[in-house]
């Protein structure tokens, strides 16, 4: 920077003014400085700038898997871009320890705020960070035990809607195939499903098949549901991956059972019949996540907001067949 100032024959101060587009600098002088910058291949060091300024203009996104389809992350990026913030993302890989490493690393880098898809149940490591002024918004799941802004889908309403939809089409015996209930959303959805069944006066036990996403387990669950004395006529799945696995093991029989899948996905319209889904409002989730985060950065002492985003049933055929 000193070299640039010398090259342009101006003061160091003026170079800084030009780089920061200060209005109190004349056009021709700015041009001279820019020429010097180009001539010397000067490129400002953001680290020093951030150190001096205190702020980074950067949001961190710690998500389960960067390289998987994640419409919420996409919406987050879009919203952040509109607010002229850079978002840098890293994967937590569904690993609690890795999540901690990633988040702490972002904290040391003094990111202005972090968007987190929390995993696991113990987020004690966040306490000192939050006390030190970390702005954090949880997405998809809350941070259990901690008062943190969060935005999650209305999982319960989604399951209720799906169940009512199937009931309205005459299905009496519906089963739920879902993810491991140690995962918050999976637990929410499974519980909501059991409540639906119990609400109709039917015994809830044995109707919700939950556990890890393992093809063999899911195949066993589907077979158990369909091969009993009173076989199920409809299935609600717990998320997009489960939907795929269920459809995979149903194969050509998939037309014989009604299916409503949680989470919309590209392949929902690839099948025959197309998959009826409970779709989350990804754009709303991502957008409000950024809104909440910016608001918290602006006013760290504001009250905690927990936003629930409605979901929507999209009928495409697989959920509108009558029981066979």
Partner DNA sequence: CGGTTACGGGATAACGTTATCCCATCCGGC
Partner DNA sequence: GCCGGATGGGATAACGTTATCCCGTAACCG
- Could you say whether residue 21 binds a second copy (CB under 8 A)? no
With beta carbons less than 8 A apart as the criterion, state whether 313 and 165 touch. yes
User: Rule CB under 8 A: is residue 248 a binding residue for a second copy?
Assistant: yes
Site string for a second copy, 50-69 (x = CB under 8 A): xx----x---x----xxxxx
Decide if 282 contacts 74 (C-beta within 8 A): yes
- The yes or no reply on residue 270 touching a second copy (CB under 8 A) is yes
Q: Cβ of residue 272: shortest distance to a second copy, in angstroms? A: 7
Instruction: Give yes or no for residue 1 binding DNA (CB under 7 A).
Output: yes
109 binds a second copy (CB under 8 A): yes
* 316 phi/psi in degrees, rounded to 5: -130, 0
One residue of 41, 49, 177, 270 binding DNA per CB under 7 A: 49
Instruction: Tell me how many residues contact a second copy (CB under 8 A).
Output: 50
Q: Choose, by CB under 8 A, the member of 7, 16, 64, 91 that binds a second copy.
A: 91
Instruction: Tell me, by CB under 7 A, how many residues bind DNA.
Output: 27
d(C-alpha 48, C-alpha 101), whole Å: 24
As measured in angstroms, the least distance from the Cβ of 228 to a second copy is: 26
CB 39 within 8 A of CB 31: no
Could you give the CA distance from residue 157 to residue 162 in angstroms, rounded to a whole number? 8
Q: Is residue 145 at the binding interface for DNA, with CB under 7 A as the rule?
A: no
Assess whether the previous peptide bond of 273 is cis (omega < 30° from 0). yes
Q: Does 92 bind a second copy (CB under 8 A)?
A: no
227 near a second copy (CB under 8 A) = no
Q: What counts of helices (H) and strands (E) characterise the chain?
A: 12, 12
Closer to a second copy by Cβ: residue 187 or 269: 269
CB of residue 33 vs DNA: minimum separation in angstroms?
A: 8
Select the binding partner of residue 10 from a second copy, DNA, none (C-beta < 5 to 8 A, by kind).
DNA
Among 7, 40, 44, 146, binds DNA (CB under 7 A): 44
Per-position x/- string for 4-43, each x denoting binding to DNA as judged by CB under 7 A, each - no binding? -----xxxxxx-x--xx--xxxx-xxx-----------xx
Q: Residue 65 CB: number of other CB atoms within 10 A? A: 13
How far apart CA 27 and CA 169 sit, in angstroms, is 71
- Window 154-213: residues binding DNA (CB under 7 A): none
Query: What is the full DSSP assignment across 176-199?
Result: EEE--TTSHHHHHHHHHHHHHHHH
Stretch 213-242 residues interacting with DNA (CB under 7 A): none
Could you tell me where the DSSP H helices lie in the chain? 2-8, 12-19, 27-40, 46-53, 71-82, 96-108, 126-131, 155-168, 184-199, 215-227, 240-250, 282-298
Site residues (CB under 7 A) for DNA, limited to 51-70: 51-54
Asked if 80 and 51 touch (Cβ cutoff 8 Å), the reply is no
Residues in contact with DNA by CB under 7 A are 1, 9-14, 16, 19-20, 23-26, 28-30, 42-45, 48-49, 51-54
């Amino acid at each position: 920077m000193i070299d640039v100032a010398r090259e342009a024959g101006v003061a160091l101060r003026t170079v800084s003014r030009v780089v920061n587009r200060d209005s109190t600098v004349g056009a021709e002088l700015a041009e001279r400085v820019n020429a010097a910058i180009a001539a010397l291949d000067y490129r400002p060091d953001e680290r020093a700038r951030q150190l001096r300024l205190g702020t980074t203009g950067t949001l961190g996104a710690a998500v389960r898997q960067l390289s998987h389809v994640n419409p919420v992350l996409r919406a987050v990026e879009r919203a952040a871009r509109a607010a002229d913030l850079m978002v840098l993302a890293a994967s937590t890989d569904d690993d609690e320890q890795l999540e901690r490493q990633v988040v702490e690393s972002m904290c040391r880098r003094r990111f202005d705020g972090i968007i987190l898809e929390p995993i696991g149940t113990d987020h004690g490591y966040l306490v000192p960070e939050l006390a030190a002024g970390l702005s954090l918004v949880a997405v998809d799941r809350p941070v259990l035990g901690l008062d943190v802004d969060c935005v999650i889908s209305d999982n319960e309403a989604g399951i209720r809607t799906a169940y009512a939809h199937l009931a309205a089409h005459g299905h009496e015996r519906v089963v739920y195939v879902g993810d491991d209930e140690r995962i918050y959303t999976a637990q929410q959805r499974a519980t909501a499903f059991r409540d639906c069944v119990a609400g109709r006066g039917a015994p809830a036990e044995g109707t919700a098949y939950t556990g890890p996403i393992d093809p063999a387990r899911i195949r066993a669950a589907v077979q158990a549901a369909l091969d009993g004395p009173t076989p199920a006529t409809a299935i609600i799945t717990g998320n997009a991956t489960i939907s795929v696995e269920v459809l995979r093991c149903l194969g050509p029989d998939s037309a014989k059972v009604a299916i409503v899948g949680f989470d919309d996905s590209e392949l929902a319209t690839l099948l025959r019949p197309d998959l009826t889904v409970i779709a989350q409002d990804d754009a709303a989730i991502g957008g409000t996540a950024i809104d909440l985060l910016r608001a918290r950065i602006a006013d760290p002492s504001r009250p905690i907001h927990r936003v629930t985003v409605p979901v929507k049933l999209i009928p495409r055929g697989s959920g509108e067949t009558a029981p066979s």
